[in-house]
Amino acid sequence: MFPSQFTYHAPATLGEALALLAEHGDDAKVLAGGQSLIPLMKLRFAAPPIIVDINRIPGLDTIAEEGGSLRVGALVRNRAIERSDVITSRYPTMAAAAPMISDPVVRNQGTFVGSLCHADPQGDWGSVMLALDGSVVARSVAGERVIPIGEFLDGPFTSTLRADELAVEARVPDPGSEFAGTYLKLERKVGDFATVGVAVFLATSGGTVTKAGIGLTGVGATNIKATAAEQALVGGTVSDALIEEAARLAAEAADPRTDIRGSADYKRDVVRVYVARGLRAAAATPVA
Amino acid sequence: MNITVTVNGSARTSEVEPRMLLVHYIREVLGLRGAHVGCDTTSCGVCTVLLDGLPVKSCTMFAVQADGRSIMTVEGMATNGQLHPVQAAFHSEHGLQCGFCTPGMMLVAKAFLEENPAPSEEEIRWAISGNLCRCTGYQNIVKAVQAAARNMSEVSK
């Protein structure tokens, strides 16, 4: 299979890339890791007339904590996230999800920010970002805006990124000093999309939950933030009863469809079990 | 577009259409048939090549993206007629049946062992999890990677 014809641009600077996007708008598509875009183009689900390959732009591949948040550049590969010391030690939800993204060869190419822009409701990173209250930094020739992830993910394969904007970076707030988190994913085999995925994050102070994040993968038209479950946890002390209550509320927030991976009822129950399991695992391995 | 790619150590310059996939460039333009086309949907890994030393699925990359970069295919693994230790181990441990997945498996194993020279069996199984063996010959593939790890550590001693 091969895609339909396109004009290829490989700008050497961010300014050139933004100028191309400003000029071509909807006709242009940004190519980063290509692990979602190229398959779509080969299957002719997408046929962008212009490709803007950002891989030759320097400075977009850094992972760093700066100004109260973790910054993940547009060209940071999943491989780099998996091997990042700062993520392993300070962002356990991301660290748990990274080795479960697709397969190891795809992770060498695929990017974190690209996955967010693809906005696949079965994508794992959207749920992780919802649990962590992350945001996406969009830049255009007109300027920059920071879009909270809940506003960024708009629908299946749809984000609120404008056609003239490039997602240059994702940001994740500093987790504080007492925190825990994990990502659990039910998949039939390596590289398959999630039947269900669950991202959890807890920040605590002296045993009391000060912040809770729960994101759900593959059980709705977008990744879902289980807001009621989060609210139930905040202010409480992690106990079996509280975990069961949060898990029940998270399952209520899920809106799964029956498909080859399982029935809607089954998936909703997996959400309940995985949220409980994830919260127990997180509570058992806090970083303080 | 004119691209220059270092392929198995030699610079190759070719005129390619932007939409040409890397695997077709390697097979049809360069005539290196060790990179296979299997699923053609980024799942099976038989098209795996090393791009600047790291495995990538060459069915999911455009040839123009490789301009100025370095690629290794299975044809570049042996040096001066001597099999690479990974190749020798796949031979001695019978790490292949039909051979279709073998180039990808060996290239993934080479890059993996360079990063992790003494892996556990579980680490090996995760490392090859992006590559499918349709003969289901994983047992001997894992043995071959273990043997290659031993051979490579002998060589480096």
Query: Class of B85-156 per CATH?
Result: mainly alpha
Q: Do B60 and A7 touch (CB under 8 A)?
A: no
CATH topology classification for A63-173: 3.30.465
Which residues of chain A, if any, have pLDDT below 50? none
pLDDT for res B157: 63
At A63, the amino acid letter reads I
pLDDT for res B102: 98
pLDDT for res A286: 73
**Residue B12: is its pLDDT beyond 70?**
yes
Our CA-based measurement puts residue A193 at a distance from the nearest CA of chain B, in whole angstroms, of 11
In angstroms, what CA-CA distances link A97 with A82, A140, A181, A278, B20?
9, 30, 10, 12, 33
How many other CB atoms are there within 10 angstroms of residue A25's CB atom? 11
pLDDT average, residue stretch B19-43: 97
Residue B40 contacts A, CB cutoff 8 Å? yes
CATH topology classification for B2-76: Ubiquitin-like (UB roll) (3.10.20)
Residue spans of the domains in chain A: they are 7-51, 63-173, 179-284
pLDDT for res A284: 83
pLDDT for res B153: 86
Residue spans of the domains in chain B: they are 2-76, 85-156
Best A7, A45, A105, A118 residue to mutate vs chain B (most B CBs within 10 Å): A105
ipTM over 0.85: yes
pLDDT for res A268: 98
Give dist(CA A25, CA A136) in Å, integer.
Answer: 19
Closest CA to A123 of A157, A93, A152: A157
Give dist(CA A270, CA A276) in Å, integer.
Answer: 10
Q: CATH: 3.40.630.30, 2.40.160.40, 3.30.43.10, 3.30.70.20. Which one for A7-51?
A: 3.30.43.10
pLDDT for res A283: 86
Closest Cβ–Cβ partner in B43, B56, B127 for A109 = B56
**Residue B142: is its pLDDT beyond 90?**
yes
Closest Cβ–Cβ partner in B20, B42, B62 for A106 = B42
Q: Which residues of A26-52 are buried (b: 16+ CB within 10 A; e: fewer)?
A: eebbbbbbbbbbbbbbbeeebebebbb
**Using an 8 Å Cβ cutoff, are A69 and A149 in contact?**
no
Our CA-based measurement puts residue A106 at a distance from the nearest CA of chain B, in whole angstroms, of 7
Q: What is the pLDDT of residues A147-168, one digit of tens each?
A: 999 999 999 999 999 999 999 9
Helix (H) or strand (E) holding A246: helix A240-253
Q: Report residue A85 as tokens.
A: 């010391």
Residue B119 contacts A, CB cutoff 8 Å? no
Q: CATH: 1.10.10.10, 3.40.50.300, 3.30.390.50, 3.90.950.10. Which one for A179-284?
A: 3.30.390.50
Closest B-chain CA to A109: B56
